[in-house]
Amino acid sequence: MTPVLELRDLTVDIPTRHGTLRPVDAVSWSIDAGEILGVVGESGAGKSMTGNAVIGLLDSPAHISGGEVLLEGERIDHYTLPQMRRIRGKRIGMVFQDPLTSLNPLLTVGEQLEETILRHLDVSNAEARKRAIQGLDEVGIPSAKNRMDAYPHEFSGGMRQRVVIALALCAEPTLLIADEPTTALDVSVQAQITALLKRLCRERGMAAMLVTHDMGVIAETADRVAVMYAGRLAEIGPVSQIVGQPRHPYTDGLMASTPAASAGQARLRQIPGAMPRLGRLPTGCAFHPRCPKAEDKCRVDPGPKVGEADDRAACWFPIEAKESAA
């Protein structure tokens, strides 16, 4: 089966006067139909840059400098802006943290939905309207038909994010990229929105890349989890293993410092230090200055890629099952 999304050594560079920064460094992963890949990591790890690279929304001078992005087996990383615009909204839906960035304040939500449907699907005006109402209904907007004529500001934050999800899904994309979709919302609304995303992926067989800081959301929603650190993929695996038996010392630290992931543990443990700035990456493995397991090799040799030293973790000395159980 061809994955819906496949990244092969995706690399993003930002040329600056002081040299080239690499916010995304040879990241590889794939997402199958119906699957939700959670993407986690500290602020600045490169999560948003990775998502933006996939949808061709990198702000210049940031650009894809290497690797490949395949959408249903087709390379899209070299697409021109017009080619990318045809895919965006149609084959790839997007949801960002702030719903207002995705909505036009001057148009009713009905107009925006109908316009998007007509742009991407070969249907009549009447059919577009019908689908727009269905879309609002599907994401749980009460009396959807009447709300078609309302403007974005007439909705609450949670309802507005539902409208954005309806908009992202109305052209029936095969891939959804959601970047902190629930971070700005109340906890109860967060749970509703994540449940909604999960249901829609199952029902439609849609693949999703879900970027979030919230391990609770990840544990609830993701099938697999990718952990990023300083632009690289530190670890990737099924959610139960990432949360319950991390193999990369960074994943282990991240889980131990997160209340949702370390439930039942005596107390939270912080990872010492901070993630390095891109212009000042240490030699060897970028995590070594903070790593309790670092040895000489880690200070000199670049960290291995996932699959080189361990099939899940990009680490020379991954945590063995019995170690983390101790």
Ligand X SMILES: Nc1ncnc2c1ncn2[C@@H]1O[C@H](COP(=O)(O)OP(=O)(O)OP(=O)(O)O)[C@@H](O)[C@H]1O
Stretch that binds Mg ion, among 26-34, 44-52, 241-249, 254-262 (CB under 5 A): 44-52
| Tokens 């829609």, residue located | 200
Q: Which does 299 bind (CB under 5 to 8 A by kind): ligand X, Mg ion, none?
A: none
Cβ-based nearer residue to Mg ion, 48 or 161: 48
By the rule CB under 6 A, 43 interacts with ligand X? yes
**What are the C-alpha distances in Å from 33 to residues 2, 74, 170?**
9, 15, 18
Q: Kindly identify the residues of this chain, within the stretch 269-308, that bind ligand X according to CB under 6 A.
A: 278
Which residue from 44, 89, 158, 237 is in contact with ligand X, where contact means CB under 6 A?
Answer: 44
Choose among Mg ion, ligand X, none what residue 49 binds, the Cβ cut-off being 5 to 8 Å by kind: ligand X
Segment contacting ligand X by CB under 6 A, of 28-36, 37-45, 150-158, 161-169: 37-45
Alpha-carbon span 110 to 315, nearest angstrom: 50
- Residue 14, binding choice from ligand X, Mg ion, none, Cβ under 5 to 8 Å by partner class: ligand X
Residue nearest to Mg ion (CB): 48
Alpha carbons 175 and 197: distance in angstroms, whole number: 12
Instruction: Report residue 156 as tokens.
Output: 């609450």
Q: Which is nearer to ligand X, 66 or 140 (CB)?
A: 66
- Closest approach of Cβ 216 to Mg ion, in Å? 18
Site map for ligand X, 210-249, x if CB under 6 A?
---x------------------------------------
Q: Which long-range contacts (CB under 8 A, 24 or more apart) does 264-267 make?
A: none
Q: 99 vs 135, which CB is nearer to ligand X?
A: 99
Which range binds ligand X by CB under 6 A, 43-51, 166-174, 249-257, 313-321? Answer: 43-51
CB of 35 to ligand X, least distance (A): 21
- DSSP annotation of 305 reads P
- Cis omega (within 30 of 0) for bond into 61: yes
Which region, judged by CB under 6 A, interacts with ligand X, from 44-52, 119-127, 129-137, 147-155? 44-52
Where in 45-84 is the site for ligand X (CB under 6 A)? 45-49, 62
Q: How far is the CB of 43 from ligand X (least distance, A)?
A: 3
Q: Which does 110 bind (CB under 5 to 8 A by kind): ligand X, Mg ion, none?
A: none
Percentages of the chain per state (helix, strand, coil), in multiples of 5: 35, 20, 40
Of 178, 242, 246, nearest in space to 212 by CA: 178
Contacts 24+ apart (CB under 8 A), 132-139: 132/170, 135/166, 135/167, 135/169, 135/170, 136/109, 136/162, 136/163, 136/166, 138/166, 138/169, 138/200, 139/163, 139/165, 139/166, 139/169, 139/196
Where do we find the tokens 């693949």? Answer: 207
In terms of CB distance, is 49 or 165 closer to ligand X? 49
Nearer to ligand X, 198 or 213 (CB): 213
Name the nearest CA neighbour of 102 among 40, 4, 49, 179: 179
Tokens of 159: 């309802």
Binding of ligand X by 181 (CB under 6 A): no
Would you call 139 helix, strand, or coil by DSSP? Answer: coil
101 contributes a contact to ligand X by CB under 6 A:
no
By CB under 6 A, name the binding residues for ligand X.
14, 21, 23, 41, 43-49, 62, 213, 278
